[in-house]
Chains A and B, each alone.
Chain A
């Protein structure tokens, strides 16, 4: 501040000629400057995000060698394939159950952290956020090793309780469970941090008032905490739904879609078909099936965020 205050004539000399220009010119210059400042952003988003997004629509209508227009041919082909319906089913199971458990665990853990004295909260928060910090590709390798068929550390531990060896990644339903477990492990800390931040913003007086009115802990959560946190819960859940639905790393490294395509989700199957099977148009058609769910979630997020803006 001081620097600026003591430099009253620091306007660039080149611009001093325009000093007497009318207000309109000044406004015009301001908007030109603003436009130039956002230009790199507009170019980046336009060329590398918006254009490819529409390009994939075009790509999805071509044949494998990308020389002939086949219209909805790729989609018709997909609808006839059994694997495609497996992928749709698995994507829904995966995303919905993972988001549900992430939200539940995040909610419970946020309350637990909120419960302990403020002095120790930092330490707990620090430990509980570690899964979110490690690059998912790296931590999934650790899970892969924990699930290893012959040296599985989990089976070693379970053997003490007399529970027979489980084929964590070899049997379809256990593989589905494992993929979801790792995703919950990775994503729950995000919910925990978001909920903790919003728990701290609930005024203490509301709980005191509820306690005076004789509310038990369940009523306090239902009538005070949840309504106060509603917006954050909605935004976090929708956001996580998008990210989980589009997840790639965990499934790819853990099972690569196996056993027998039972754990493929849209992203991993699009990669398998598009890059490994070098059928880009078919892969693009597969990944386009993520769009409806993403669009619905995005609309609701935007609505909630605008609502927040109006409240503020």
Chain B
């Protein structure tokens, strides 16, 4: 109330004094909205176009009518894909790989981050830097040596991993673990030392300090890391393209591209439907957990 009174008192002078300034601000705001709308259209055109095409029949697509409008909406593409065993296999493979990779990533990176953030030991600082450096090594540098390594491993032991979907469960953690460890180190390091000192004084073991103090307190970071691990393993395209070829072993992105594109024949209605269904899980997670998603995105550079 007090503040409104003050503003009321100053109001007459302010309008006179800053009249042009507030008009400038209104215009600045209008221009901001105008350009934001332009950029939002630019961002949303491909996903919206996916949706539009997915609702068309192939007859309507090849008739080359207005591409931005659906004249005879149909769900035939969705029905076809969701009842095809092949597509459901891709979906199951993707889900299995992603869930297993998320579990493995968390099991490896949370204890490691705890140890690196709190329990100083010989070489721990170097190791933390090393973890960050490995995060900067891209998949495109490693896929050829990894392919050869798994081939040699198969020759030596008789366990042929190449071509099976579970080889991806072994390979994907190289993409997720370094980053998740890195951001969890940041989150753990931001927890006040008094908290775990109190726990240690009360007789808690290191394991109890981790499970009863660090994990609950750093829950937002843990959720952000989980989302990151899931989206990365869901979206990976290079490794499944290199390591799997049989159609019953493919994951969604590679499956859609290799099976729905047959030679030069593009069944665009189905491709767009498949792409939209493939994009759905990350989009749904994003819609519900946007703040965690963004926290994980910015944590890589702002924490640590």
Contacts and interface: CB of A to CB of B under 8 A. Distances in A.
Contacts of B33: 116
Contact of B202 (A5, A156, A236, A249): A5
A156 B67 contact: yes
B161 interface: no
Interface stretch (B4-12, B76-84, B112-120, B218-226): B112-120
B241 to A, nearest CB: 8
A23 interface: no
A293 to B, nearest CB: 11
A246 interface: yes
A193 B29 contact: no
B131 interface: yes
B195 A127 contact: no
A287 to B, nearest CB: 5
B297 A193 contact: yes
Contacts of A15: 205
A275 B282 contact: no
Interface residues of A, number: 106
Contacts of B39: 105, 109, 112, 128
A141 B256 contact: yes
A304 B258 CA distance: 42
A145 B42 contact: no
B137 interface: yes
A5 B68 CA distance: 63
Contacts of A50: 134
Contacts of A252: 237, 241
Contacts of A163: none
B205 A145 contact: no
B88 interface: no
B47 A302 contact: no
Interface string B281-304: 011001000100110011011101
Q: Chain A: interface secondary structure?
A: helix
Interface residues of B, number: 107
Given A242-B138, A290-B140, A232 B40 contact: no
A41 B108 contact: yes
A55 B151 CA distance: 14
27 contacts: A4-B204, A7-B204, A11-B205, A35-B121, A37-B112, A37-B114, A38-B127, A52-B149, A135-B253, A135-B279, A137-B278, A139-B279, A141-B271, A142-B47, A145-B272, A189-B43, A193-B294, A193-B298, A197-B298, A235-B301, A236-B301, A239-B300, A271-B242, A275-B143, A275-B147, A284-B144, A288-B141
Interface of A: 1, 3-5, 7-12, 15, 30-31, 33-35, 37-38, 40-42, 44-45, 48-53, 55-56, 59, 66, 105, 108-109, 112-113, 115-116, 122, 124-139, 141-143, 145-146, 148, 150-151, 153, 156-157, 185, 189-190, 193-194, 197, 232, 235-236, 239, 242-243, 246-249, 252-253, 266-267, 270-271, 274-275, 280, 283-284, 287-288, 290-291, 294, 297-298, 301-302, 305, 309
Given A194-B301, A248-B139, A288-B141, 11 more contacts: A3-B212, A4-B208, A15-B205, A109-B36, A129-B294, A138-B276, A138-B279, A141-B50, A142-B272, A302-B129, A305-B304
Interface of B: 28-29, 32-33, 35-36, 39-40, 42-47, 49-50, 53, 61-62, 64, 66-68, 107-109, 111-112, 114-116, 119-122, 124, 127, 129-134, 136-149, 170-171, 173-174, 177-178, 181, 195, 198-199, 202-206, 208-209, 212-213, 231, 234-235, 237-238, 241-242, 253-254, 256-257, 266, 268, 271-272, 275-276, 278-279, 282-283, 286, 290, 293-294, 297-298, 300-302, 304
